[in-house]
Chain A
């Protein structure tokens, strides 16, 4: 099993002669149904919008212009930077970031705890963590909404035990959106950290303890550097889908403010019907995500060389 490359090709090359036909279906399907559409979307982002939906095949930078530059409500003021959409981006990043931190805060101890169980019970713990991920995201989001609504079970029980007098206004807040994102992607944080901690050699911690390092110091100075790749992977797995999330802001946030997902949705299904602009926002979102992923891959490659 000493294979070259990060993705684990074994030395065995029984199917070397068949590589092309074996990969052809993948190339055809993903190429035609994903790469081509994304390229087409890139083209659309440079087209002229047709009034109330659709496109005219004239190339223009209007969509990107609309995103980055404003000339006032009436289009006759001097050009300034448009903060509206950058603000929506920023809010999405910020929401996704907070949700990621929250996931890390709960996910790391959980992963650590599971990884330090006896080998036998680990599988069961992991299984418990992964099950909710496979339950329909829509159903999970609706469940959460039901749980935290003003007359929902959470508020009712908190009021019944006398902890609060008036129901907590949780639904339709930014907090609810973060909770929703946190809840949606928590398993993504636990699993990679678990994998890293499981491989961690606890002799290192023992050595640190022998040298009178406190628990916290050991965690910070010895453990964290070793399990960092797992933490980074977990953060990316939570952050990236949170960024484009649609259901949590729509159902839990009361659709009050645009997030990236709803902004894109609005251009295609909502009142504004501006396809090129929707395509441009999607392109910018994808560029952002790809940048994060490439930076991550670079950092990993660097780490592997070290």
Chain B
């Protein structure tokens, strides 16, 4: 595999002219105007490809796309996985003049202590939203998704993302992540299989659209995506369930063998500028991991219910399991979707 990657890079590098930047990014996650601003400031030509789950991005990179992209935007646990797999390159804080803008609590993160290969992009949470025209009662529990009331049965969309579904399921049952305990895993498996009979569809990139169009009345969703659904006219409320929810941070990483390393660093530095980080937040409706963004934020973003969880809530990061444990979770996921 290593040799293969090396061969790929040797073939790839001469094809890329100076002044390019290839970004591998989540769908609908960066405003077009911001990309244009970067292009205008630097004269660098930016190409963006999109993916819809951390795992899909990793799979594509390992399937021969390493050496083609300069930066990607993996979530927290995926930064750790990619680092362990040797897919990331390091930079020094001096490479990024704006390095000091990183908010202190996001500097020494467990998935990249001291920030040697990643910078914060946005952080937010994953729980679920409910169409309040359809269901008016209390939505403070993950049971809305995993043991839904009659009004919502058959009208639920679930993210097509193994990590998020299995982690939320574990939180609902109160069992730890990356467990090898057979009783706990069996319980998780059974609970999900039963819950699936009430679900209408699996979709990550469609998660907002199904709520806006009314195809689904409730759906697992990221907080910012839910506030976008609200902004597009859907009467949806984002829930912070009492059992807990998933918190995540997406990070811009410098990829190994990046064909345009210098431009990648310029791009990362650009994104650490508070005004630019705020532009992303205003667009994606999550929260920036950069200090000094507040003056640039739109009011409705700053005060949005999706970005301001009640004080007593608990968020969990998704953990990266080892290979043996991951096999068990893979089996649960396949069994769920068979």
User: Which residues from chain A sit less than 8 Å from chain B, CB to CB?
Assistant: 50-56, 73-75, 84-85, 87-88, 149-151, 169, 171-172, 254-258, 268-273
A residues near B60, Cβ cutoff 8 Å: 269
B residues near A75, Cβ cutoff 8 Å: 327
B163 adjacent to chain A (CB < 8 Å):
yes
Q: Are A256 and B337 in contact (CB under 8 A)?
A: yes
Q: Are A171 and B56 in contact (CB under 8 A)?
A: no
Contacting A at CB under 8 A, from B128-169, are: 154, 160-163
B213 and chain A: residue at smallest CB distance:
A151
User: Which of these, B189, B203, B213, contacts A255 with CB under 8 Å?
Assistant: B203
A255 to B327, CA, bound (A): 22
Q: How far is the CB of A240 from chain B (nearest CB, A)?
A: 23
B118 adjacent to chain A (CB < 8 Å):
no
Q: Are A54 and B1 in contact (CB under 8 A)?
A: yes
**Given the contacts A74-B328, A270-B59, A55 and B1 also touching, CB distance less than 8 Å:** yes
Q: Name 9 extra pairs, CB < 8 A, besides A256-B199, A256-B337.
A: A54-B62, A56-B1, A73-B331, A87-B338, A169-B154, A258-B337, A271-B59, A272-B330, A273-B62
A residues near B185, Cβ cutoff 8 Å: 73-74
User: Which of these, A84, A172, A268, A273, contacts B334 with CB under 8 Å?
Assistant: A84
Q: How far is the CB of A150 from chain B (nearest CB, A)?
A: 6
A85 and chain B: residue at smallest CB distance:
B338
Q: Are B338 and A84 in contact (CB under 8 A)?
A: yes
Q: Are A255 and B201 in contact (CB under 8 A)?
A: yes
A271 to B81, CA, bound (A): 13
Q: Are B81 and A52 in contact (CB under 8 A)?
A: yes
B55 adjacent to chain A (CB < 8 Å):
yes
Q: Are A74 and B203 in contact (CB under 8 A)?
A: no
B residues near A270, Cβ cutoff 8 Å: 53, 55-56, 59
**Chain B residues with a Cβ closer than 8 Å to the other chain, count:** 41
Q: Are B213 and A73 in contact (CB under 8 A)?
A: no
A258 and chain B: residue at smallest CB distance:
B337
A residues near B334, Cβ cutoff 8 Å: 84, 258, 272
Q: How far is the CB of A81 from chain B (nearest CB, A)?
A: 14
Query: Would you mind naming 27 contact pairs between A and B with Cβ atoms under 8 Å apart?
Result: A50-B1, A50-B62, A52-B59, A53-B58, A55-B1, A73-B185, A73-B328, A74-B185, A84-B335, A84-B338, A85-B338, A88-B338, A150-B215, A151-B215, A255-B160, A255-B202, A256-B199, A256-B201, A256-B337, A257-B337, A257-B338, A269-B59, A270-B56, A271-B55, A271-B59, A273-B58, A273-B59
**8 interchain residue pairs of minimum CB distance:** A254-B201, A271-B55, A53-B62, A271-B162, A255-B202, A172-B201, A54-B1, A273-B59
User: Which of these, B56, B189, B214, B323, contacts A271 with CB under 8 Å?
Assistant: B56
Q: How far is the CB of A264 from chain B (nearest CB, A)?
A: 13
Residue from the set B59, B154, B203 with the largest chain A CB neighbour count within 10 Å: B59
A87 to B55, CA, bound (A): 25
A151 to B211, CA, bound (A): 12
B15 adjacent to chain A (CB < 8 Å):
no
A292 to B104, CA, bound (A): 64
A255 to B162, CA, bound (A): 13
A268 to B58, CA, bound (A): 10
A140 to B202, CA, bound (A): 21
Q: How far is the CB of B284 from chain A (nearest CB, A)?
A: 23
Q: Are B338 and A53 in contact (CB under 8 A)?
A: no
A258 to B336, CA, bound (A): 10
A residues near B337, Cβ cutoff 8 Å: 256-258
B200 adjacent to chain A (CB < 8 Å):
yes
B203 and chain A: residue at smallest CB distance:
A255
Q: How far is the CB of B82 from chain A (nearest CB, A)?
A: 10
